[in-house]
Amino acid sequence: MKILSINDRGYLLGGLEHNVLAKNNGLKDRGYSAKVFTSDLNPFSAPLYSDYTFRGFNENSPKKWFNQIVNFSSYFRLRKVLKEYNPDIIHIHNIACQVSPSILLAVGSIPTILTLHSYELLCPTGALVKADGSRCVSPGKHDLRCTGSIKGYAYETIKQFIHRILLKKVLLYTVPSKSMKVDFEGQKIINAPIKVIYNGVALSEYELPRNFNRILYVGRLSKEKGVETLIRAFEIIKNACPDACLDIVGDGPEMGSLNDLCDKLNLKDSVQFHGKIDKKNIVDFYIKSTFIVVPSICPETFCRVGVEALSVGRPVIGSDFGAIPEWLVDGKCGFLFAPGSVKDLAVKSIALFKNKPLLEKMSKFGHEYSKNFSVDANTNNFESLYLDLVYKK
């Protein structure tokens, strides 16, 4: 069996690219042929993991307005690749920026799967988030508030109309969580079954908790991630646990305002912003932490960071929202709290700090439970899916 995966980028930008590469390596280890088709865009001069590429374009140039609807470069290059490689399955990942759904005109009768990693098909921002960081309550129905202008509204409407036609070639969609499946079901743009297959996460070795006063946040510093809620909760936590510390790993547009908030609340001595950290070094932060917090105020499609922390043996306190309750067993490997609730987050954080036996019990349970979301489990699920589709064909 030969599988061709298609993605916008061929360098390791984030969790999506790591998932594509890990799955393909897992399939190769099992004796299958697995290759990747991406753009040759490479702004950081990083190694490309692609087997086939087409000419990418600068996403800040006016070209993007046309190429994101119909990209002739990716279409004609894919036609040649399909003749050369002749795959049994085509597995499409993110094609919102470089590739474009126009490649679906080239797939012919080859069974084609599309994994929805975010909400680009329904939302111009890709996150179902409004400008103020709150959740969009009418996904799939663009208006001036999410497109920014009349021109933007017209463009997104035309783009979605064309994509709806092109996506009829998709035989099956997969999503990384049940909550994401619910968000897409009933939307007119989806016209094929949706199957839930959780992301595969590179798990780490178990480490007993060593520090009992450190909270960790890892992620983008943007409004929808709820870091302001965490900092305001930390003010309460600090009063109950004076030696508590908060490490914030990541960067984003809210960096300045979050620093100002720490100044205002007199927390500068206890909150440290580390900026963006290489993926290989983030495990060290997990190990040094007591637990991590995922305070999102808008739905996560999966949240790789949380499962990575569980694998190390660090409980997670996360918003009871989106996909988080699907991998965070409340009271077993951490706590769920009401999204945006400063008080609820503070109370549950203090409870973990003050109950070492509970912390260690959650640590061990979380490590074992994280194995349900391993790369191997993910590869097993996709292998079965591919074989089923090829058999039916």
Residue 2's φ and ψ, nearest 5 degrees, are -120, 130
Please check whether residues 226 and 106 belong to one and the same domain. Answer: no
- Where do we find the tokens 């009871």? 320
Residues 100 and 236 in one domain: no
- pLDDT value at residue 375: 93
Record the pTM: 0.91
Q: What is the CA radius of gyration of the chain?
A: 22
CB 352 within 8 A of CB 317: yes
Q: What are phi and psi of 260, to 5 degrees?
A: -65, -40
CB 2 within 8 A of CB 36: no
pLDDT of residue 116: 93
Q: Once rounded to an integer, what is the mean pLDDT over residues 358-371? A: 97
In this prediction, residue 354 has a pLDDT band, given cuts at 50, 70 and 90, of very high
Q: In residues, how long is the chain? A: 393
Confidence check: pLDDT of 91 > 70? yes
Host domain of residue 292: 214-373
Among 78, 77, 10, which Cα is nearest to 43's?
A: 10
- Domain for residue 82, yes or no? yes
Burial 144-175 (b: 16+ CB within 10 A, else e): eebbeeeeebebbeebbeebbebbebbbbbbb
Average pLDDT over residues 110-133: 81
Mean pLDDT score, 209-233: 95
Determine the average pLDDT of the residues in 187-210: 91
Residues 381, 355, single domain; the answer is: no
In terms of domains, do 50 and 118 share one? Answer: yes
Q: Edge-to-edge, what's the strand order for the sheet holding 316-319? A: 271-275, 245-249, 214-218, 291-294, 316-319, 334-337
Mean pLDDT of 373-387: 95
pLDDT at 65: 86
DSSP bridge partners of 167: none
Same domain for 262 and 363?
yes
The CATH number linked to 25 is 3.40.50.2000
Residue 171 has pLDDT above 70, yes or no: yes
Residues 188 and 126 placed together within one structural domain of the fold: yes
**In this structure, are 379 and 361 located in the same domain?**
no
Q: What are 274-285's pLDDT values in tens digits?
A: 999 988 889 999
**Mean per-residue pLDDT, 1-25:** 91
pLDDT of residue 144: 57
Confidence of residue 187 (pLDDT cuts 50, 70, 90): confident
Whole-number pLDDT of residue 16: 86
In the DSSP assignment, the letter for residue 112 is E
Closest CA to 86 of 50, 45, 35, 12: 35
Total number of domains in the chain: 2
Residue found by looking up tokens 């968000």 in the block: 183
What is the C-alpha separation between 248 and 227, in angstroms, rounded?
Answer: 9
Chain-wide mean pLDDT for the chain?
91
Whether the Cβ atoms of residue 37 and residue 53 lie closer than 8 Å to each other: yes
With H, G, I as helix, E, B as strand and everything else as coil, classify residue 136.
coil
For residue 282, the model assigns a pLDDT of: 93
pLDDT at 31: 95
Answer yes or no: do 354 and 384 share one domain: no
- Count other C-beta atoms under 10 Å from residue 29's C-beta: 11
The per-residue pLDDT for range 252-304, each reduced to its tens digit, is: 999 999 999 999 999 999 999 999 998 888 999 999 999 999 999 888 899 99
Domain check: are 114 and 97 in the same one? yes
pLDDT at 161 over 90: no
